[in-house]
Amino acid sequence: MKTSIRARLMLAVLLSALPGMTAALDIGGFGSLLGGGSDSGNGIDIGQVVSGIGDIGRTVTGISEEEEIEIGRNAAAVLLGAAKPVDDPALQRYINKVGRWVVSQSERPDLPWRFCVLDTPHLNAFASPGGYVFITRGLLQTMSSESELAGVLAHEAAHVLQKHHVKAITSFSSSGVSGIVKLASQTSGAQDNFMATELVNGLKDMYLRGLDKEDEYEADRMGVVIAARAGYDPYGLASVLQTLDSVNPDDDSVSLMFKTHPTPFARLDELTPVLDQLDDSVSQVEPDKRFNTSVMAQR
């Protein structure tokens, strides 16, 4: 269980470091800089643009928001057990600034959203229930614009909004949502530093197996709408998918990403009709200078 302790410590460090950062964010100013609105973005209705999406966040029932967040803390700790955050406070602040502006344009702006760059050359991004979003250093370094970053963060945020992971997690527990909630809450006691083995193994398994293919397509469709609301070019996500499409699928850096997602080509194909519909409502602001300062300096 050594890994669990290390992961818990990492999470504690992350949690203690971020509130200070996020409190200092000038989200309103950031939004107007990008051309998005301060409250409801560009007013793009996801339901109108993306057919087949029901009530946001209501597709999984039987779990409270507190329980969702508690499961997410455990899941985030599992991810942090596999890769530590990049030791660059300015970069982590930047990711949180972009991420929090993006999710402020979502249907669940009040979740305790936290964004983190993981220190691994692999190309991937992850989310955990309740508002944890992770992107790898490897994927970030393939990007050349903030719209690409916003697109990926919005895709991951969509998984959170729609509780896709909660749905996947509960499928491995014979006792369903209530069993998982019970396991997660058992691990949150002050005297218990260990996560229940069943929960940890289940969460690891979920990240290794990936989500439902349809949930990935849904996150792509919702992601481009949320990014557009926030004033970003919705083609940012498409651009990332094109980059991924150009990587040799046998390359170790994309093995997990390709194993857990539909092919980039298939995702682009599914996304095209949504992008076509968004064409008229997009402002083409590219805050490249800030992106270059924050990310290119990493290379």
Residue 44 backbone dihedrals phi, psi, to 5 degrees: -80, 125
Which of residues 37 and 138 has its CB atom nearest to Zn ion in the complex? 138
Token pair in block for residue 99 = 């991420």
Give the angle subtended at the CA of 207 by the CAs of 135 and 110, to the nearest 5°. Answer: 55
Give how far Cα 273 sits from Cα of 47, 49, 167, 222, Å. Answer: 14, 9, 27, 12
Q: Where are the alpha helices (DSSP H) in 54-187?
A: 65-82, 89-104, 137-140, 146-161, 164-170, 176-186
- CB contact at 8 A, 115 and 256: no
Binding mask 42-61 for Zn ion (x = CB under 5 A): --------------------
Q: How far is the CB of 262 from Zn ion (least distance, A)?
A: 10
**Spatial distance between the Cα atoms of 248 and 264, rounded to a whole number of angstroms:** 12
Which one of the spans 14-22, 63-71, 218-226, 277-285 is the region binding Zn ion (CB under 5 A)? 218-226
Q: How many angstroms from the chain centroid is the CA of residue 1?
A: 27
Which of residues 148 and 216 has its CB atom nearest to Zn ion in the complex? 216
Q: How far is the CB of 233 from Zn ion (least distance, A)?
A: 20
Q: How many angstroms from the chain centroid is the CA of residue 170?
A: 19
Number of residues that bind Zn ion (CB under 5 A): 2
What sign has the CA pseudo-torsion 146, 151, 156, 157? positive
Which of residues 212 and 288 has its CB atom nearest to Zn ion in the complex? 212
Q: How far is the CB of 261 from Zn ion (least distance, A)?
A: 6
Q: How far is the CB of 216 from Zn ion (least distance, A)?
A: 5
Q: How far is the CB of 29 from Zn ion (least distance, A)?
A: 30
Q: Which residues contact 2 (CB under 8 A, 6 or more apart)?
A: none
Which of residues 67 and 156 has its CB atom nearest to Zn ion in the complex? 156
Q: How far is the CB of 299 from Zn ion (least distance, A)?
A: 25
Which of residues 80 and 219 has its CB atom nearest to Zn ion in the complex? 219
Token pair in block for residue 285 = 């602001």
Token pair in block for residue 57 = 């966040």
Which of residues 67 and 220 has its CB atom nearest to Zn ion in the complex? 220
Which of residues 219 and 271 has its CB atom nearest to Zn ion in the complex? 219
Q: How far is the CB of 294 from Zn ion (least distance, A)?
A: 23
Token pair in block for residue 296 = 């290119």
Q: Which residues bind Zn ion (CB under 5 A)?
A: 216, 219
